[in-house]
Chains A and B, each alone.
Chain A
Amino acid sequence: MSGKGNGAGPRFAAARQAAAENRAQGLDIGWTVFGYLIAGMLAYGAIGWLVGRAVHVSLLFPIGMLVGLAISIGFIIYRYGRQGALTRPSPRGNAEGDDR
């Protein structure tokens, strides 16, 4: 087999593996961002509801949800909104080509 042929296999495997890693990372980040949005509303909505129940101001529940959403959006922008911020330290990095 030619040298070119020998190099194409590992290169193709490496590209396929990089694509799979990007896909997994994209899924992780996408659902983490979505999770932050829901969690912000949930956590601060719950805090608002509890405080509102104690002081008899029911409006604190929706206010808490909005505050939580705002905090989540702010944190998402801080964490993921910058150029190059999408490369998180990876515990993987040791997956190589097919070694069946």
Chain B
Amino acid sequence: MTRDVPVLASGGCHIFGGCGFPSPGLQSFEFKPLFSIGSFHFTKPMLIAVICALAVIVFFWAAFARPKLVPRGVQNIGEIGILLVRDQILRPSLGKKGDGYLPFLTALFFYIWLMNLMELIPLFQFPAMSRIGFVWPLVFVVYFTYLYLGFKHQGFPGYIKNMIPWDVPKPVLIILIPIELARFFIVQPFTLGVRLFANMFAGHLLLLIFTLATWYLASFTVGLLFAAGSFAMMFFVFGLELLIDLLQAFIFTTLTAVYIASSLEAAH
């Protein structure tokens, strides 16, 4: 490949550098260990998860360690965050009697949101939720919480009984029972986790594709147009991801509240 075309970016893989487009893939989600203790390898996504957890704890600690009647500074921001979760997520599903779950839902919402936002923050630039191993623990916490609450408030037979839609004709009921049980015990937690994972995974891939393409195509030729197009798309996807990060945290937490509500009282 010719080298006499002036390129805008040196280093990395370039269209005039003699290499093909370094398309992102599963390898983009693998990281070398930052350090290892025996067979345990501490990687960048783990560091991000720890930083996010600490950030949420420190923020709410700073906001409410010494709360004032008239909120000032960080307490103001903390109260806005808590009221957002209470009025937009908790109360619409659980009502006032569900206020006891506010700390759980607030922690869940802000932890997921921050973890998602990490894909847009320079240096981190990776959503840990795009590794499904970080999603399943949250799903299991939610799953066992609403199962426990369901068995506690409705009793084991009552909880199972309330999953079944008794308002349908008896012959239809028999064929619906396997579907209801599969939906409740398998599909519901599975979709809760996969939705968050898949959105973060796809978002990160999109960002990588347009970032790499901008670099790969940049040159003082007609390719500059394609690089500029890719650059514009990168900003578009960035804006989109900003919205999706919030939306996914919102959906996960809202559905958690809905599932807890159905455990506290029968929905059918």
- CB of B37 within 8 Å of the partner chain: no
* Apart from A39-B183, A91-B94, A95-B92: 10 A-B pairs, beta carbons within 8 A: A20-B87, A23-B92, A25-B92, A27-B254, A27-B258, A28-B255, A39-B180, A39-B186, A68-B179, A100-B83
Q: Considering the complex, which residues of chain B in the window 60-93 have a beta carbon less than 8 Å from any beta carbon of chain A? A: 79, 83, 87-89, 91-93
User: Is A95 in contact with B267, judged by CB distance below 8 angstroms?
Assistant: no
User: Is A92 in contact with B255, judged by CB distance below 8 angstroms?
Assistant: no
Residue of A nearest to B93 (CB): A24
Residues of A within 8 A of B178 (CB): 43-44, 47
Residue of A nearest to B183 (CB): A39
Residues of B within 8 A of A78 (CB): 168
User: Is B92 in contact with A21, judged by CB distance below 8 angstroms?
Assistant: yes
Tally B residues with Cβ within 8 Å of A. 38
Cβ contacts A to B, 16 pairs, < 8 Å:
A20-B92, A23-B92, A25-B92, A27-B254, A27-B255, A27-B258, A35-B191, A36-B183, A38-B190, A44-B179, A88-B267, A89-B267, A91-B94, A91-B262, A92-B91, A95-B92
Residue of B nearest to A67 (CB): B175
Write the residues of chain B forming the contact surface with A, with a CB cutoff of 8 angstroms.
Answer: 79, 83, 87-89, 91-97, 165, 168, 172, 175-176, 178-183, 186-188, 190-191, 251, 254-255, 257-258, 261-262, 264-265, 267
User: Is B87 in contact with A17, judged by CB distance below 8 angstroms?
Assistant: yes
